[in-house]
Amino acid sequence: MPRPPSTPAADPGRASPAAPVGAITRRAQIPRLLAAMAVGAAHALSLSFLPGALAWPAQLLTLAAGLWLAAGATSRRQSGLRGFAFAMGHFLTGLCWLHVSMHDHGGMPWLLAALALLLFCAYLALWPALALMIAHDRPGWGWVAGVAGAWALAEAARGWVFTGFPWLSIGYAHVDGPLGGLAPLVGVYGVGLAAAALAALLALGALRRREQGWRAPAIAVATMLLASAAVGELRFTQPAGGPMSVRLVQGDIAQSMKFDPQAAVRAMRWYAAQVAASQARLTVLPETAWVVPWTHTPPEIAATVLEGLRASGGSLLLGAPIVDAVPGAAPRVSNSALLLAADAPAPRYDKQHLVPFGEFIPWGFGWFVRLMNIPMGSFGRGVAPQAPFLVAGQRVAANICYEDLFGEEIAAQVREPVLAGVLVNLSNLGWFGDSHALSQHLQISRMRALETGRPMLRATNTGVTAHIDHRARVVERLPTAQAGVIDTQVQATEGLTPYARLGNLPVLLLAGALLAVATGLRRTPASEGARPSSKIAG
């Protein structure tokens, strides 16, 4: 008796002809979610470990792979779940150094620190998940527009809600790539919008490869890259005055010893020696190089600093807390930068964008700060705008620690009334060990230089101390986890980039317009249970 012809094994990820449309079992989704998480972890490498020449193509390819997985979803819910899995891999890999701060330096039990990291990354992952739910549609040009617009709006929201945490925004992978040319126009969120569009085009080309429909997406990708590179040749700023000599100091003070009284005095003596040996017009010490107010400095150390400044005729930008008396209330402590000169008043900059849990306590989370054992966990907030420091005829604006994560706030420092020609970041990332947080923060500072057309000087405790020019090139840097100094010449600039003038408004409007276009081009309702056709539509 002849055997009936064999039938091909059913694809567990596809509905059988007899099954209802979109009937995909939960078990079949697990491999796709795991794949999305693995791709997300690889995506984080482009923002953490890879050199610039490899970072931007790696970012595009890995995000394209994540979008390719999301494009196969049969519903908004599935698309959101795959986006969530991708983002969890991305954030857990990119932000694992937070565990170091909570466990190694905060004293939190290992498992509790891991749980806190997991919950925080889960919150951050909601934003990409929401973006892909909004953009869910049959893959086509409207889908590309929806992905780009929704992703940019989600990143901007992540950078604003609950005071914001835009760390690992995808635009930072493109500082050294063609899309970096867009930064002076539309900032990091605009670069991220373009990167999301390119990744969606790559995914669309991969989905259409069997129909020879990959050519149009490929042409669009090449056109966008070439146009962005051409825009990068435009110049919006010019030199202001002559070069200024600068010394940047990296102390490499172990975080475990930083607040020990005897270790703090030894650190101040070492820093004072670097100041006394400096011939620069400006010497910069890291955030909280002094863990006590300048007025509490041991007299012999203060004398060493002031005599050195008198001999060189220079100024010292010192990271230190400042305590102000408040009538009828507790003293106000600020995380500040203080400009010292031998025989002059000492103007100050008070940090404005404070770190939740580290510098202010969100309502209801006092228990978490006590558990973390964070010293000086409640600071006063500086008020914008603050006057720039005047050094050797140049206007210098300070920002402290992760304040340079907020591009619009840094852009405000180069507009009226501040009009800074040089930006300076004082940081202490000792809380995070010798981790990839340090290289990530360097990329963030480089993006701020691109956006504003201003040089950025970085003086950090453990790294990365660096001189970044107005085109985001690293002129000189120190190795991480090593004490040392950089003696360099910085050239101030003047003039405003479009981003410095307008901030994030243009990219937010563009993202909204792209979502409107996506809605108009949507061919089928992207509702629950509406599976994209296996034949990719345009």
Residues annotated as catalytic are 287, 351, 401
Report d(CA 529, CA 414) in Å as an integer.
50
Using alpha carbons, list the distances in angstroms from residue 365 to 166, 167, 177, 370, 377: 21, 22, 41, 9, 12
Looking from the CA of 471 toward its CB, the CA atoms found within 13 Å total 12
Which of 421, 494, 418, 497 has the alpha carbon at shortest distance from 452? 497
In contact, 44 and 94? CB cutoff 8 Å: yes
Query: Who contacts 375 (Cβ-Cβ below 8 Å, separation ≥6)?
Result: 259
Residue with tokens 């796709």: 32
Report d(CA 169, CA 158) in Å as an integer.
9
In contact, 158 and 166? CB cutoff 8 Å: yes
Number of neighbours of residue 459 by Cβ within 10 angstroms: 30
Work out the widest C-alpha separation in the chain, in whole angstroms. 108
- E-state strands within 106-258: 238-239, 244-250
CA 377 to chain centre: 23
Report d(CA 226, CA 514) in Å as an integer.
21
Report d(CA 263, CA 261) in Å as an integer.
6
Report d(CA 364, CA 506) in Å as an integer.
36
Report d(CA 525, CA 138) in Å as an integer.
9
In contact, 75 and 528? CB cutoff 8 Å: yes
Q: Which two tokens stand for residue 44?
A: 């984080």
Note the helical H segments in 212-322.
215-231, 261-276, 299-312
Q: Which two tokens stand for residue 37?
A: 């998480």
Number of neighbours of residue 222 by Cβ within 10 angstroms: 11
Which of 243, 242, 244 has the alpha carbon at shortest distance from 283? 244
Helix (H, G, I), strand (E, B) or coil at 84: helix
Report d(CA 147, CA 158) in Å as an integer.
16
* One-character DSSP codes across 132-154: HHHH-SSSSHHHHHHHHHHHHHH
